[in-house]
Amino acid sequence: MNWLRKLFQFREQSQGDVVKPFLDHLEDLRWTAVKMGVSLAIAMILSFFFVKDISAIVRQPLEALNGHEPLITLGVTDAFMISLQLAFYSGLVLSFPALIYFLAEFVLPALTTKERRILVPAISAGFVLFGAGALVSYQYILPMTLKWFREYALSMGMDPRWQARDYFGFVTHLTIACGLLCELPVGVLGMAALRLVTYTFLAKTRPYAVTGIMVLVAVISPTPDPLTFVALATPVVAIYEICIWLVWFMDRRRAQEEAGEIRPLE
């Protein structure tokens, strides 16, 4: 429970003399969880009505590679469970802005007026970046990855007839992982706005961050082609480097505001 107490202390930093009891914080957290759960459930129900269309979209990269050969199901309930899985991930994507908003709303009392003003644009940018990452994964990374795995199986003398459960799980996890990877700017700049990280910290840890990015890219798209790896890793590293310099600008402007050299942004 120590992490909860630290979070609640953070929420009260901008509330002046008003200090809420611990149980009141827990009540706020409970309602935040309820709102997030309801939003996800509604998005899942809506997605379930279109699960056949979603399934056709997810199968399209495989059909472009293998033709219209159907996927294999071994369990009696596999088709229904896969439909629930697709509805869950689709609902997660659809409700992503609402989930982030409710989570930010819980921490909102600890934010300044200026930080609250940029909350909605930041959430919108995060949703756009997530969608862009998922789209790039679906259009480019996924077909290349499927092609490599298929050709490798054929080279080993195997018949690559993939099970539906494994295929849909692989596609959804890969797509969401790429989408989350593109959330890097929002995460870095958000932590910098809350003064959780600084330019000095990011500059010192740059080699470790770049190594971590390369490892993540290698895990997300495990193809041995070095050109593909470089083509995927370079934009992410470049985005991280831009984030570092944006944080440098934010730290410099904050220092000037505190020194009275320039007027704070309203």
* Residue 24, pLDDT score: 61
Q: Are residues 92 and 26 in the same domain?
A: yes
* Residue 234, pLDDT score: 79
Show Cβ contacts of residue 146 under 8 Å, excluding neighbours closer than 6 positions: 61, 62, 65
Q: Are residues 191 and 171 in the same domain?
A: no
Q: Are residues 238 and 209 in the same domain?
A: yes
Q: Are residues 224 and 124 in the same domain?
A: no
Q: Are residues 4 and 81 in the same domain?
A: yes
* Residue 3, pLDDT score: 47
Point out the domain boundary residue: 182, 207, 234: 182
Which contacts qualify for 65-71: CB closer than 8 Å, 24 or more apart? Answer: 65/143, 65/146, 65/147, 65/150, 66/150, 66/160, 69/161, 71/162, 71/163, 71/164, 71/167
Report yes or no: 146 and 65 within 8 Å, Cβ to Cβ.
yes
Q: Are residues 174 and 190 in the same domain?
A: no
Report yes or no: 101 and 6 within 8 Å, Cβ to Cβ.
no
* Residue 43, pLDDT score: 92
- As a whole number of angstroms, the distance between CA 173 and CA 125 comes to 22
Point out the domain boundary residue: 151, 182, 213: 182
* Residue 229, pLDDT score: 72
- Residue segments in the chain with a per-residue pLDDT below the cut of 70: 1-26, 107-120, 194, 221-225, 227-228, 231, 260-266
Q: Are residues 167 and 255 in the same domain?
A: no
For residue 73, give the DSSP letter. Answer: -
- As a whole number of angstroms, the distance between CA 227 and CA 245 comes to 27
* Residue 153, pLDDT score: 84
Report yes or no: 156 and 247 within 8 Å, Cβ to Cβ.
no
Report yes or no: 175 and 90 within 8 Å, Cβ to Cβ.
no
> Using one digit for the tens of pLDDT, what is the confidence trace for 61-119?
888 887 777 788 888 888 898 899 899 988 888 888 788 778 777 766 655 666 666 66
pTM of the model: 0.70
Domain that holds residue 43: 1-182
Point out the domain boundary residue: 132, 167, 182: 182
